[in-house]
Amino acid sequence: MAKGFNGFGGGMNMNALMKQAQKMQKQMEEAQAELAEKTLEVTSGGGAVKITITGKKELKAIEIDKDVVDPDDVEMLQDLILTAVNEAFKQAEEVYNTQMGKITGGMGMPGMM
């Protein structure tokens, strides 16, 4: 017959489990605040379009070189912007996953972002 949580987690008691969870929560809050302050800059088209985004995927700026603004080829400019934005989001996701992986030990935490 099992007694309390002694058989769960190799004998870890509930207080130790709660302390660990609280420590992890605090670390995650600190990491998320750090991510909000971190910025990434991504370019496309050889620097024609530059995107600045935070580690929490907040788009901060879009800079477009005036030399790529061609009224006869708006589609090219749209493609450059899409490419840069998608790459920025991809890099922000990688930074987020790396930061959270340090805290969770690689354990997936769905819904955290």
Q: What angle do CA 81, 99, 40 make, to 5 degrees?
A: 25
The pLDDT, as a whole number, for residue 17 is: 86
pLDDT at res. 106: 60
Q: What is the chain's alpha carbon radius of gyration, rounded to the nearest angstrom?
A: 22
Task: Please report, as a single letter, which amino acid is at residue 113.
Answer: M
From 3.30.1310.10, 3.40.720.10, 3.30.420.610, 3.40.50.970, which CATH number describes the 28-102 domain?
A: 3.30.1310.10
pLDDT tens digits, the chain, 113 residues: what are they? 444 555 555 556 888 888 888 888 898 888 888 888 889 999 999 999 999 998 888 899 999 999 989 999 999 999 999 999 999 999 999 988 888 888 877 665 555 44
Instruction: Write down the pTM of the prediction.
Output: 0.67
Note the pLDDT of residue 108: 56
- List, in sequence order, the alpha helices (H) in the chain: 14-37, 74-104
